Structure 1
Amino acid sequence: MVTGAIGAPQQVRMQPGTAEVKQTPSELTGQFGQYLKQAIDGVHNQEQAVHEVNDRFLIGQADVSEVMITANQAHLTLQLATQVRNKVIESYQEIMRMQL
């Protein structure tokens, strides 16, 4: 499963007859880091969109519903990012409590 910048997951399909490629932990960590960066960039882009729509509203080029929709989308994106961060921190703390 592959996801975009805080978006809906998309299925990745293997071609029939192809072998699954094994990835090293370093490659997986890099991919996870790249995913987090894309997610944070998505949150930033949503915030910028809200500022842009607010500016257009102030000069009369956007209506209230557009402002509210954009603001709610940004709010939900930020809430999702916060919950993902909380789960990552919780997972890290759980790993640190494990005894070897």
Structure 2
Amino acid sequence: MDIKADSLYQEMQAMIGQARLQTSATPEVQMNPNSGSEFSTMLKGALEGVNSMQMDSKQLQHSFEMGDASVSLADVMVAKEKAGIAFEATVQVRNKVLDAYKQIMNMPV
């Protein structure tokens, strides 16, 4: 089972680098109308990845409990930890998004 968090992190770093290049190349901020849909697509993919990790972990746990000889306890524990870490990261991202939303809503107009 591979962790998709590394690829997600690399994609985010690449997006940050592209954003910095765009803002440094032109003094005015360019609004991309598709950026919202790209972000939502990326967020949806990340959530689906976390969900699939949790489902795989649950399936491995069930297989181990049923006595499947091809599944070891170490595999089950590693899968559970990966799913737990991915879920915690998702919660932290949600918290940061909510904080940013609250700050934007409290800005004077």
The TM-score bracket by the shorter chain reads: 0.7 to 0.9
Q: Secondary structure at the match of 1:26?
A: coil
| Residue 26 (str. 1) matches residue 33 (str. 2) | yes
- Tell me the equivalent position of 2:104: 95
User: What secondary structure is seen at the aligned counterpart in 2 of 1:80?
Assistant: helix
Give the number of equivalent residue pairs: 90
Deviation at 1:79, TM superposition (A): 0.2
Structure that is richer in helix per residue: 2
Is residue 84 from structure 1 mapped to residue 84 from structure 2 by the alignment?
A: no
In structure 2, what is the equivalent of residue 17 of structure 1? Answer: none
TM-score (norm 1): 0.77
The percentage of aligned residue pairs carrying the same residue is: 24
Q: 5+ unaligned residues in a row in structure 1: which ranges?
A: 15-19
Q: Secondary structure at the match of 1:48?
A: helix
User: Which of 68, 71, 95 does residue 80 from structure 2 map onto?
Assistant: 71
Structure 1 partner of 2:22: none
Q: CA RMSD in A?
A: 2.4
